[in-house]
Amino acid sequence: MSTVAVIAIVVGALILLAIVVSMARSTARRRQISHAQTEAKRDDVQHHHNRADDRRHEAELAEEQAKRARAEAELDERDAAGRERELGEEPRSERPGAP
């Protein structure tokens, strides 16, 4: 074989090797990016689950506060009706057109 042919084969092999290495690096980079994106999506899902849990908890607290406020309002109405009776007035709840 001539020297030129050997040099051409070696150069071709080096170019082919460079292409293969470049493709391998590109594939590895894509996998790494894909992995990072998957992790980010999992984090996003977890964040939304946590927010939903927090909002459910806040709603439960608000319901408890509303129940407590209704109970306190009923007690205040009973106290007011008792004081009205002591004064000899007709309790507001028994008046015509009262809520």
The answer to whether residue 98 sits within a structural domain is no
pLDDT of res. 93: 63
Place of tokens 């309002």: 73
DSSP string, 1-35: --HHHHHHHHHHHHHHHHHHHHHHHHHHHHHHHHH
pLDDT at 97 over 60: no
The answer to whether residue 97 sits within a structural domain is no
Range of the domain at 72: 3-85
The answer to whether residue 32 sits within a structural domain is yes
Taking the model in full, what pTM does it have?
A: 0.56
The answer to whether residue 96 sits within a structural domain is no
CB contact set of 85 (below 8 Å; sequence gap of 6+): 91
Q: Number of structural domains, the chain? A: 1
The answer to whether residue 10 sits within a structural domain is yes
The answer to whether residue 99 sits within a structural domain is no
pLDDT of res. 89: 74
36 vs 97, which has greater pLDDT? 36
15 vs 82, which has greater pLDDT? 15
pLDDT of res. 23: 97
The answer to whether residue 7 sits within a structural domain is yes
Within 13 A of 20's CA, how many CA atoms are on the CB side? 6
Within 13 A of 78's CA, how many CA atoms are on the CB side? 6
Q: What's the mean pLDDT in 29-51?
A: 98
Q: How far is CA 78 from CA 65, 81, 93, 96, in A?
A: 20, 5, 10, 18
The answer to whether residue 8 sits within a structural domain is yes
SS3 46: helix
